[in-house]
Amino acid sequence: MTMKHPQHAKWPQLATLAKRLLPSLSLLACTGAAAALPPLYVDPQSTAAIWAVNNPSDGRVTDIRNRIANQPGARWFGGWSGEIGAAVGHFVGTAWYYGRTPVLVAYNIPARDCGQYSAGGAGSLQAYRDWIRAFATAVGNRPAIVVLEPDALPQLDCLDAAGKSARLELLRYAVAQFAALAPGAYLYLDIGNSAWLTPAEAATRLVDAGVAGARGFALNVSNYRTDAESNPYGVAVANALRQRGLEKTFVVDTSRNGNGPNGTQWCDPAGRKLGVAPRVNPAGSTPEMVLWIKSPGESDGCAAPAGTFSPDLAYKMIYGY
Q: Specify whether 268 is catalytic.
A: no
pTM of this structure: 0.89
Give the up-direction half-sphere exposure of residue 122: CA atoms within 13 A in the CB hemisphere: 22
Marked catalytic residue, from 190, 227, 253, 300? 300
Q: How far apart are CA 142 and CA 75, in angstroms?
A: 16
Q: Chain-centre distance of CA 11, in angstroms?
A: 25
**Residue 229 confidence (pLDDT) above 60:** yes
Predicted local distance difference test score (pLDDT) of residue 32: 66
**Residue 77 confidence (pLDDT) above 60:** yes
Res. 17 pLDDT band, cuts 50 70 90: very low
**Residue 27 confidence (pLDDT) above 80:** no
- Residues present in the chain in total: 321
Q: Specify whether 300 is catalytic.
A: yes
CA distances from 41 to 9, 60, 229 (A): 16, 24, 27
Q: How far apart are CA 270 and CA 261, in angstroms?
A: 10
| Range in 4-8, 37-41, 107-111 with the lowest mean pLDDT | 4-8
Marked catalytic residue, from 113, 190, 227, 253? 113
Marked catalytic residue, from 58, 63, 151, 253? 151
Res. 15 pLDDT band, cuts 50 70 90: very low
Q: How far apart are CA 211 and CA 183, in angstroms?
A: 15
For the beta sheet containing 103-106, the strands, ordered from the edge strand earlier in sequence to the opposite edge, are: 74-77, 103-106, 144-148, 185-190, 216-219, 249-253, 289-291, 279-280
Predicted local distance difference test score (pLDDT) of residue 34: 85
CA distances from 266 to 44, 257, 269, 290, 307 (A): 28, 12, 6, 20, 14
The secondary structure of residue 267, as a DSSP letter, is: S
Q: Specify whether 190 is catalytic.
A: no
